[in-house]
Amino acid sequence: QVPNIIKALHKQLKEKSIKSRQGCFSLLTELASVLPGCLADHIPALIPGIVFSLADKSSSSNMRIDTLSFLHVLLCNHQPEVFHPHVKALLPSVVTCIGDPFYKITSEALLVTQQLVKVIRPLDKPYTFDAKPYVKDLFPGTLKRLKAADIDQEVKERAISCMGQIIYNLGDHLSTDLQPTLKIFLERLKNEITRLTTVKALTLIASSPLKIDLRPILGEGLPILASFLRKNQRALKLSTLNALDILVKNYSDSLKPAMIEAVLTELPVLITENDMHVSQVTIMFLTTLAKVYPSCISKISGSVLAEIFQLVHSPLLQGGALNAIIDFFQALVLTKTAAMGYPELVKQLTAPVYSSGSAGASLTLHKQAYHSIAKCVAALSSACPKEAPATVNQFVQDVKSPKSSPAVQVLAFLFLAEVGRTTNLSAQRELRAVILEAFSSPSEEVKSAASYALGNVSVGNLKEYLPFMLKEIGSQPKRQYLLLHSLKEVISCSPADSLMPYVEDIWALLFKHCECTEEGTRNVVAECLGKLTLVNPAELLPRLRKQLSAGSPHARSTVVTAIKFTITDQPQPIDALLKGCIG
């Protein structure tokens, strides 16, 4: 349909009627948004109409705004090379609009110019188009708007963003104009109204593959950025942390220790469970610092670590923030900073668990905190492989010792699960017996952690553990529920190709137990079946469907529940097959 639509609109775009042209651009904007790339073959037919509406003196302001708005959508949704033959025709009228007295036209024109800069010199792919002749058209008009003090807020912000893009893509063509322009950015950084947009623009410039020389503004700029971390403006804090991270990564040789120290003092207060995202971005920046300036970390180690340990022991820690902390500990332990070596960090991480003594059967911290501590200690063991065996031995002894509190046993099992998932622990001969013994513990938390550990340790050594686990499920009715939870971990965490040789045995075992009278057991069987089906959906999904017309009501309800567990957040090969059996 697109060629026919363009053919019909082509004449209308040169009509005197403003309403007709506005209607055309409205339709084209929708088309370009809904079908990205659909107008690529028709660009030559559209350019004359665009230029006509931008340059036509009789055009209303709204007409020009609509035209610029369409042009922006067009540039965003098509490959740069389709515009290269037309840059010469397009650019003059867009640049003229930057100088328009009406702020809305200027604002829209700056947005288009920003996109045009990406088009004429895309840095993320090879290109043959020569952008140099167009710099003299793009730069002066944008610079004039960047310098102006009395213009509209939106125009100010878009002029900053547009100039940031020009420097990012074309900075090597600006020669003597570059440094005076960067000085203007420094002024905009000092202004409360423009500082956030300027921070984002500087972040972009600092990440340019052209390695723009920012040295002349870093001495004054870094303390200003450090002061923003104190401001009560969340978006500014986050953008500033991103800017500092890029600057440390790309300009480490230009930053002096005094500049870094000004930033360091502002960081501890940003790490708090009240704002996990700000904490996460702060810790990611600390990880960069630990890698680039390992010596500076000792300056704030005490205050920062105290806050990070509090986060690790918080029930709210998970996802991205937890991963950021894990990366930080791995980077920190490799800096070999005094009092922050492997034994000290492990001791501080586990201190609240060991200090709780053996009193009572309940856990002293929230359940989530034990998982977080276990992941952090496992990450440290992974970064220091020489230290790992002694830590594994220590935790195995903790599990065996009758003096260990339930809290210590839970942590030990969760740590062994984390390590065992990726490391073969067959050297620990007594581990299997120790885990099974814990299945008889009076503490539900210990039993659950032991079940989790058995599943994950099996992932690291399927050959030895999985046949044993299947045999136990068949012969130990009292432990069956816990063993099925272990099997669920194996199915969830093992790569499909490793699991393939065992699929038939697991499948047969699960169907043996899908008629169990205990609903809790049936639910775990269903989850195992659903996740196992994902390993080989083409073969296993039809077999699962077949069971819907066989067996007892219990068995059929287990199969229906199993289907629920084949539906996942991420795209899977099973998705196309599921369409045929749902609905």
C-alpha distances in Å from residue 200, one per residue of 105, 223, 225, 233, 237: 23, 16, 12, 14, 11
> What value does the mean pLDDT take over residues 434-444?
89
Q: Measured between alpha carbons, how far is 371 from 452 in angstroms, rounded to an integer? A: 11
Q: What is the pLDDT of residue 360?
A: 52
> What value does the mean pLDDT take over residues 52-63?
83
**For the chain, first and last CA: distance in Å?**
32
> What value does the mean pLDDT take over residues 183-204?
95
> What value does the mean pLDDT take over residues 467-479?
86
**CA angle, corner 251, sides to 161 and 180, nearest 5?**
45
583 DSSP 8-state letter: -
Cβ atoms of 21 and 64 closer than 8 Å: no
Highest mean pLDDT among 229-243, 433-447, 539-553: 229-243
Tell whether the model's pLDDT for residue 573 goes beyond 80. no
Q: Measured between alpha carbons, how far is 567 from 551 in angstroms, rounded to an integer? A: 24
Domains of the chain: which residue ranges?
214-340, 501-583
> What value does the mean pLDDT take over residues 501-519?
83
Cβ atoms of 228 and 236 closer than 8 Å: yes
Cβ atoms of 238 and 281 closer than 8 Å: yes
Phi-psi region of 513 (alpha: psi -120 to 50; beta: other; left: phi over 0): alpha
* Per-residue pLDDT tens digits for 511-549: 887 777 778 888 898 889 888 888 888 887 878 777 777
Express as a percent the part of the chain with pLDDT over 70: 96
Q: Measured between alpha carbons, how far is 63 from 54 in angstroms, rounded to an integer? A: 8
Q: How many other β-carbons are positioned within 10 Å of the β-carbon of residue 557?
A: 18
Cβ atoms of 62 and 22 closer than 8 Å: yes
Tell whether the model's pLDDT for residue 280 goes beyond 80. yes
Q: How many other β-carbons are positioned within 10 Å of the β-carbon of residue 213?
A: 15
Higher pLDDT residue, 338 or 423? Answer: 423
Cβ atoms of 353 and 411 closer than 8 Å: yes
Cβ atoms of 580 and 538 closer than 8 Å: no
Radius of gyration in angstroms for the set of CA atoms belonging to the chain, rounded to a whole number: 31
* Per-residue pLDDT tens digits for 557-571: 787 778 777 776 666
Tell whether the model's pLDDT for residue 162 goes beyond 80. yes
| Options 1.25.10.10, 1.20.1250.20, 2.40.160.40, 2.70.160.11; CATH of 214-340 | 1.25.10.10
Amino acid at 510: L
Question: Considering Cα of 67, then 68, then 69, then 70, what sign does the dihedral take?
Answer: positive
Name which of 150-154, 198-202, 375-379 the model is least confident about: 150-154
Q: Measured between alpha carbons, how far is 450 from 486 in angstroms, rounded to an integer? A: 9
Averaged pLDDT score across all residues of the chain: 88
> Among candidates 72, 80, 71, which has minimal Cα distance to 128?
80
Q: Measured between alpha carbons, how far is 276 from 322 in angstroms, rounded to an integer? A: 10
Q: What is the pLDDT of residue 579?
A: 60
Q: What is the pLDDT of residue 8?
A: 72
Highest mean pLDDT among 258-262, 419-423, 579-583: 419-423
Q: Measured between alpha carbons, how far is 265 from 273 in angstroms, rounded to an integer? A: 19
Q: What is the pLDDT of residue 234?
A: 95
Q: What's the gap between Cα 232 and its chain centre?
A: 25
Tell whether the model's pLDDT for residue 554 goes beyond 80. no
Amino acid at 448: S
269 DSSP 8-state letter: G
Q: How confident is the model at residue 361 (pLDDT cuts 50, 70, 90)?
A: low
Q: Measured between alpha carbons, how far is 419 from 378 in angstroms, rounded to an integer? A: 6
User: Which residues touch 291 (CB under 8 Å, ≥6 apart)?
Assistant: 331
Tell whether the model's pLDDT for residue 446 goes beyond 80. yes
Q: What is the pLDDT of residue 383?
A: 93
Buried b / exposed e along 362-378 (16+ C-beta atoms within 10 A): ebbbeeebbbbbbbbbb
- Tokens representing 1 are 């349909």
Q: Measured between alpha carbons, how far is 28 from 32 in angstroms, rounded to an integer? A: 6
- Tokens representing 46 are 């559209």
Sequential DSSP letters for 464-517: HHHHHHHHHHHH-TTTHHHHHHHHHHHHHHS-HHHHGGGHHHHHHHHHHSTT-S
> Among candidates 74, 65, 79, 71, which has minimal Cα distance to 34?
74
DSSP H helical segments within 58-152, as ranges? 61-76, 87-98, 103-120, 132-147
Longest dimension (CA), the chain: 92
Q: Measured between alpha carbons, how far is 563 from 543 in angstroms, rounded to an integer? A: 12
Amino acid at 65: I
Q: Measured between alpha carbons, how far is 197 from 478 in angstroms, rounded to an integer? A: 63
Question: Within 13 Å and on the Cβ side, how many CA atoms surround 117?
Answer: 25
- Tokens representing 567 are 């539906």
Q: Measured between alpha carbons, how far is 431 from 444 in angstroms, rounded to an integer? A: 20
How many residues belong to the chain? 583
